Amino acid sequence: MPDSGIGASVTRKEDKRFLTGRGRYTDDLNRPGQAIAYFLRSPVAHAVIKSIDTSAAEAAPGVVAVFTGKDMETDGVGSLPCGWVVKDKHGEPHKAPPHFPLVRDKVRYVGDHVAMVIAETLAQAKDAAELIEVDYDEQPPVIDAAGAMQGALLHDEAPSNLCYDWELGDEAAVDDALSKAAHVVKLDIVNNRLIPNAIEPRAAIAEFSPAHDSYELFSTSQNPHLLKLILCAFVLGIPETKLRVIAPDVGGGFGSKIYCYAEETACLWASKRLNGRPIKWTAERSESFLADAHGRDHLSSITLGVDADNKFTALKVLTTANLGAYLSNFATCIPTYLYATLLAGQYITPVIYCNVKAVFTSTAPVDAYRGAGRPEATYVVERIVEVAARQLGVDPAELRRKNFIQPDQFPYQTPVALTYDVGDYEPALDQALKMIDYSGFPQRRAESEARGKLRGIGFSAYIEACGIAPSAVVGALGAGVGLWESAQVRMKATGSVMVMTGSHAHGQGHETTFSQVVSDYLGIPYEHVEIVHGDTGQVPMAMGTYGSRSLAVGGSAIIKACDKIIEKGRKIAAHMLEADVGDVEFKDGNYTVSGTDRSKSIGEVAFAAYVPHDYPEGVEPGLDETAFYDPLNFTYPAGVHIAEVEIDPDTGVTTIVDWVAVDDFGKVINPMIVEGQVHGGIAQGVGQALLENCAYDENGQLMTGSYMDYTMPRADNLPSFKVDMTESPCTHNPLGVKGCGEAGAIAAPAALMNAITDALGQEIDMPASTEKVWRVCQSRRMAAE
Amino acid sequence: MYNFDYHRPASLAEAASALQGSDEAKLLAGGQTLLATMKQRLASPSDLIDLSGIGELKGISVEGDTLVIGAMTTHAEVAKSDVVKGFCAALAKLAGGIGDPQVRHRGTIGGSIANADPAADYPAALLGLGATVVTNKREIPADSYFIGLFETALEDGEIVTQVRFPKPQRAGYAKFANPASRYAIVGVFVSQGPSGVRVAVTGAGPSAFRVSEMEQALAGNFSPDAIAGISVPSDSLNSDIHASADYRAHLVNVMARRAVESAS
């Protein structure tokens, strides 16, 4: 195995600063003369604001300014946009009610932004906020997605609180196939709402320079370029050249830091209002719970048709998706194009139909969260397949095997728009069965029963679409942006390399992985590669990090830029070696004249490029190349997870006794980092299935607004994972990579719920709380007595 | 957090006089509830009287058959104390299961019982062992100390100085923790000691309480089977998003049996 190139488990170079407390996070930064912003948030879920009196707050000690939505309106500040237009089943665009950074006349969820107080200190800002008098005319809140269409109207622009009624597939064909199926299997499921919990809360420092008439924003963003684009083009109406966004070290995102939020927008605007005073805001954890975009929140009715030979014939899925009070930037595409398109799973199902009704409720906005639509799809597919196996009385592993798309069928056109380029599903299943000792399960179950415990085993043969995505494809589906990525590779005169990448890292270890790739590809020492990201002032226009796209798309852009470096270097080397360009080969960092031992290292070539005293005619000095990569297709990571659980019927406590994951991520650059991503993903998936649940009460108050009530998974909730990999390289990107960041979170909930319901012999919804599980155990006990 | 005046008295007498000098003063022990509440602006004491400088409130000792724990002794100190382990292992175990390491290194026994959170662990130990709460003014038996939700027998100006535990022959504690906060959804402390068998429950009700029916059954036969059929009524028990009242009632029985089983 190489020490530091592709395939090596190199220790992460970024960990030295993270683990020694030397990371540089937004809240660590301070600007001279900064003032502190605090947001007065709505204490009620739904109300018309009859009046806001800020006079006492403005007069309070230390207060610099108090702003409301009216002030922003006066300045022409726009709505936070939704960047993906989804057309409903009638071809009409989704309902797009405005989402102003500070509300104008109505609040629509607890945590909504009523006013911004800027003061010399945070305590002064909070003191002043208490002096703001708001006259709320309370309206009935709309909490549950199920009843949202009958609830009080939240936006005049969206009758029945319906954002869109969307479909994919041929409903008549699916109904016909279901009517002819030998078996029809039905299941209703809840995909519970989650609150992302990045370890670093969101923060921003905005500074307008009157002297330069330009802005600088430090922000905890996963994609500073997109944030800049949205702020400039849609919200504040300033030239893109006048705003620099810097996302320094960022402590986790999981999707919640993709979006342009009210707070950083308001800080940026306010800094100009206040003639260049830097404005700093750092979220408190309570604010993160209340107002960062939440995830999931689907209700689905599933029907699967199976023929007499146990082959799937049709799948019908009717889903209601809760989008919350306003449309977050990508809210519309998550329960549609990132969800329904994955409903084929790893299986041949000839016809599939999905209908999605997306509704507004008086809850926090909902958008992408680790997996973003694909966990919801996998949960639909893998739960109904497991239930089908139980109803048909067949082994769940074998039912899956029977319906797998076969290796010779790739590229495989699914009935839900996607074309899988490559895959090989049986080896992962076989390996997972072996690793969990599947044949020994009946004995283990009997042993558990002898101890008064219930034991269950559950599968999840997931697939996901990563590496989002071909710009023309997503454009045709309504995306407002292209989804390519950029890279700039800058060889220095002395042979080291700077790589400017649009793939922002906030825990993924890109600095290590990308360095391995560049080191391997250019044949220069790993230590000589420096990765620069997260600064729109240094990195070319970019699209950022989400959807497990960094290596598949961002890494491919780096390869393309490296190719340009190599090609230009070949011309310079040919001149230096007095050979024809066509005779010069590049390998392991050296240009060599074919068939000779005459060679120049890439470092020598770089030096010549910057000191071009003796230089080829017509070739520009310097060795600094930029590339943009637009993927040809999504990538399709897939795999099999198997969970084994033991339940204590006395308490309802579920213990995960074993977990195997066999994933196909294509080529793997750093196995240690990939394994870490799998571990973290599974932990989040276990969190969703067993522990986490965002709950609002009937008044719209968030009942799980702190770690006292919102249950994050912890080390003692998790087993020691057994992780292995298969490899069918992606066919359409230069590295053959697929992406691994979300797989665990996508696969895990179905595996765990399948195991728990196997143990219980009864369906329950997520999260499988101890009380829910205990109630089933109690009813089993009563029935047995 | 609102502004307040901070005091750090060096003696109990000084603390008592500072407390008397203000209507809105609060005693600061480990601050694990009070400071969080103040940060959320849900409490606004005029004065904070920090007890951490008073040496006489600290320490663990055995006086004859009595274990004495100073009010300002942290949970971590109790958990790791060989004296406590030798006197009553279940008490050390209970302290070691409170909150997380950070909480255990700041939170104190006096602070916990003065706050009397319905889901705190210590109330079960005090009731379950028949402890005595000692204040700067008097001694209060645990049985008459815990009155209700966040309510104790402490009067204005009264400062907990120590807790005295009689030595049990055996004792056990079993806790069903809230998965998020790790407070007790139900915690049951059982002991057999000088005043007979005691069964005390925390987490389930508005305040820690004893289960006399279980105590009687265990007095005759100190085994899990003796109480297998004894249930507590769910009507007055707590109900929240983590556990309904009848689930809690069920767990009282399960935890009581496990506590008996673990008693040593």
Q: Which residues make Cβ contacts (< 8 Å) with residue A338, sequence separation at least 6?
A: A368, A372, A373, A374, A465, A468, A547
Contact call for B241 and A708, based on CB within 8 A: no
Q: CB distance from B64 to chain A under 8 Å?
A: no
pLDDT digits (tens, 9 = 90+) for A103-154: 999 999 999 999 999 999 999 999 999 999 999 999 999 999 999 999 999 9
Q: Are residues B215 and B253 in the same domain?
A: yes
Q: Which residues in chain A touch residue B251, judged by CB atoms under 8 angstroms apart?
A: 651
Question: Of the candidates A252, A163, A321, which has an alpha carbon nearest to the alpha carbon of residue A505?
Answer: A252
What is the tally of structural domains in chain B?
3
Q: Scan residues 160-219 of B and list those with Cβ closer than 8 Å to A.
A: 176, 179-181, 183
Q: Which residues in chain B touch residue A771, judged by CB atoms under 8 angstroms apart?
A: 242-244, 247
Q: CB distance from B254 to chain A under 8 Å?
A: yes
Q: Are residues B42 and B66 in the same domain?
A: no
Angle between helix A671-686 and A743-760 (nearest 10): 40
Q: Are residues B59 and B142 in the same domain?
A: yes
Shortest alpha-carbon distance between residue A684 and chain B (Å) = 15
Contact call for B244 and A769, based on CB within 8 A: no
Q: What's the rounded mean pLDDT across residues A197-212?
A: 97
The domain boundary, picked from B139, B166, B193, lies at B166
Q: Which residues in chain A touch residue B179, judged by CB atoms under 8 angstroms apart?
A: 691, 711, 769-770
What is the domain extent for residue B29? Answer: 5-53
Q: What's the rounded mean pLDDT across residues A268-282?
A: 98
- Beta strand A162-168 with A63-68 is unpaired
Contact call for B244 and A771, based on CB within 8 A: yes
In 3-state terms chain A splits into helix, strand, coil percentages (rounded to 5) of 30, 25, 40
CA B166/CA A115 separation, integer angstroms? 58
Q: Which residues in chain B touch residue A651, judged by CB atoms under 8 angstroms apart?
A: 176, 251, 254
- CB contacts < 8 A, A to B, total 40
Name which of B44, B181, B258 to mutate to probe chain A: the one with the most chain A Cβ atoms within 10 A of its Cβ: B181
What chain B residue is nearest to A693 in terms of C-alpha separation?
B241
How does the average pLDDT of chain A come out, rounded? Answer: 97
CA A519/CA A537 separation, integer angstroms? 25
First vs last C-alpha separation in chain B: 45
Residue B238: CATH number of its domain: 3.30.390.50
Indicate the residue of A126, A127, A774 with minimum beta-carbon distance to B247: A774
Structure tokens that stand for A611 in this block: 């000191």
Indicate the residue of A711, A771, A775 with minimum beta-carbon distance to B180: A711
Contact call for B179 and A711, based on CB within 8 A: yes
Q: Which residues in chain B touch residue A192, judged by CB atoms under 8 angstroms apart?
A: none
Structure tokens that stand for B147 in this block: 């009155």
Q: What's the rounded mean pLDDT across residues A230-253?
A: 96
Contact call for A650 and B254, based on CB within 8 A: yes
Q: Are residues B124 and B215 in the same domain?
A: no
Q: Which residues in chain B touch residue A123, judged by CB atoms under 8 angstroms apart?
A: 1
Indicate the residue of A707, A771, A774 with minimum beta-carbon distance to B180: A707
Name which of A192, A690, A702, A709 to mutate to probe chain B: the one with the most chain B Cβ atoms within 10 A of its Cβ: A709
What does the pLDDT read at residue A627? 98
Indicate the residue of A123, A651, A704 with minimum beta-carbon distance to B254: A651
Question: Of the candidates A418, A425, A246, which has an alpha carbon nearest to the alpha carbon of residue A342?
Answer: A418
Q: Which residues in chain B touch residue A709, judged by CB atoms under 8 angstroms apart?
A: 180-181, 241-242
CA A196/CA B77 separation, integer angstroms? 35
Shortest alpha-carbon distance between residue A650 and chain B (Å) = 7
Contact call for B244 and A651, based on CB within 8 A: no
Contact call for A771 and B41, based on CB within 8 A: no
In Å, how far are A36, A59, A217, A299 from A267, measured between CA atoms?
9, 21, 9, 37
pLDDT digits (tens, 9 = 90+) for A344-363: 999 999 999 999 999 999 99
Q: Which residues in chain A touch residue B183, judged by CB atoms under 8 angstroms apart?
A: 708
What does the pLDDT read at residue A276? 98
Q: Scan residues 33-52 of B and list those with Cβ closer than 8 Å to A.
A: 40-41
Q: Look up tokens 């038996």; give the residue.
A: B141
**pLDDT over 90, % of chain A:** 99
Q: Are residues B62 and B112 in the same domain?
A: yes
At residue A574, φ and ψ (nearest 5 deg) are -60, -40
Using beta carbons and an 8 Å cutoff, which residues of A are at the interface with B? 123, 126-127, 130, 286, 650-652, 691, 695, 703-704, 707-712, 769-771, 774-775, 778
Indicate the residue of A650, A709, A778 with minimum beta-carbon distance to B180: A709
Asked whether the predicted pLDDT for residue A655 surpasses 90, the reply is yes
The domain boundary, picked from B136, B166, B196, lies at B166
Strand partners, A87: A93
What chain B residue is nearest to A653 in terms of C-alpha separation?
B176
First vs last C-alpha separation in chain A: 61
Q: Are residues B181 and B157 in the same domain?
A: no
Q: Which residues in chain B touch residue A286, judged by CB atoms under 8 angstroms apart?
A: 40
Shortest alpha-carbon distance between residue B221 and chain A (Å) = 22
Q: Are residues B64 and B161 in the same domain?
A: yes
Q: Are residues B154 and B130 in the same domain?
A: yes
Contact call for B241 and A709, based on CB within 8 A: yes
Q: CB distance from B4 to chain A under 8 Å?
A: no
Residue B17: CATH number of its domain: 3.30.43.10
Residue A2 pLDDT level (bands cut at 50, 70, 90): low
Contact call for A771 and B247, based on CB within 8 A: yes
Name which of B40, B241, B244 to mutate to probe chain A: the one with the most chain A Cβ atoms within 10 A of its Cβ: B241
Q: Which residues in chain B touch residue A704, judged by CB atoms under 8 angstroms apart?
A: 241
Shortest alpha-carbon distance between residue A764 and chain B (Å) = 16
Name which of A708, A778, A779, A785 to mutate to probe chain B: the one with the most chain B Cβ atoms within 10 A of its Cβ: A708
Q: Are residues B62 and B121 in the same domain?
A: yes
Q: Are residues B46 and B112 in the same domain?
A: no
Q: Is A311 helix (H, G, I), strand (E, B) or coil?
A: coil
Indicate the residue of B1, B180, B247 with minimum beta-carbon distance to A708: B180
Q: Are residues B137 and B210 in the same domain?
A: no
Strand partners, A449: none
pLDDT digits (tens, 9 = 90+) for A435-463: 999 999 999 999 999 999 999 999 999 99
What does the pLDDT read at residue A342? 98
Structure tokens that stand for A663 in this block: 């994933």
Angle between helix B122-129 and B89-96 (nearest 10): 170
Q: Are residues B31 and B91 in the same domain?
A: no
Q: Which residues in chain B touch residue A770, judged by CB atoms under 8 angstroms apart?
A: 179, 243
Contact call for A770 and B179, based on CB within 8 A: yes
pLDDT digits (tens, 9 = 90+) for A715-759: 999 999 999 999 999 999 999 999 999 999 999 999 999 999 999
Residue B123: CATH number of its domain: 3.30.465.10
What chain B residue is nearest to A705 in terms of C-alpha separation?
B180
Asked whether the predicted pLDDT for residue A296 surpasses 80, the reply is yes
What does the pLDDT read at residue A361? 98
pLDDT digits (tens, 9 = 90+) for A563-591: 999 999 999 999 999 999 999 999 999 99
What does the pLDDT read at residue A301? 98
- Report the 10 Å Cβ neighbour count for A300: 23
What chain A residue is nearest to B176 in terms of C-alpha separation?
A651
The domain boundary, picked from B166, B198, B223, lies at B166
Residue A405 pLDDT level (bands cut at 50, 70, 90): very high
What does the pLDDT read at residue A415? 97
> Around A123, how many Cα atoms within 13 Å sit in the side-chain half-sphere?
7
CA B50/CA B11 separation, integer angstroms? 11
CA A343/CA A380 separation, integer angstroms? 8
What does the pLDDT read at residue A554? 97
Question: Of the candidates A777, A549, A740, which has an alpha carbon nearest to the alpha carbon of residue A661?
Answer: A740
Q: What angle do CA B128, B132, B133 make, to 5 degrees?
A: 115
Residue A784 pLDDT level (bands cut at 50, 70, 90): confident
The helix or strand, by DSSP H or E, that contains position B6, with its residue range, turns out to be strand B5-7
Shortest alpha-carbon distance between residue B238 and chain A (Å) = 14
What does the pLDDT read at residue A1? 45
Confirm if A198 and A252 have CB atoms less than 8 A apart. yes
- Tell me which residues of chain B have a pLDDT lower than 70: none
Contact call for A769 and B242, based on CB within 8 A: yes
Shortest alpha-carbon distance between residue B244 and chain A (Å) = 8
Q: Which domains does chain A have, with CATH numbers?
A: 17-139+199-252+257-291 (3.90.1170.50), 295-468+633-784 (3.30.365.10), 484-629 (3.30.365.10)
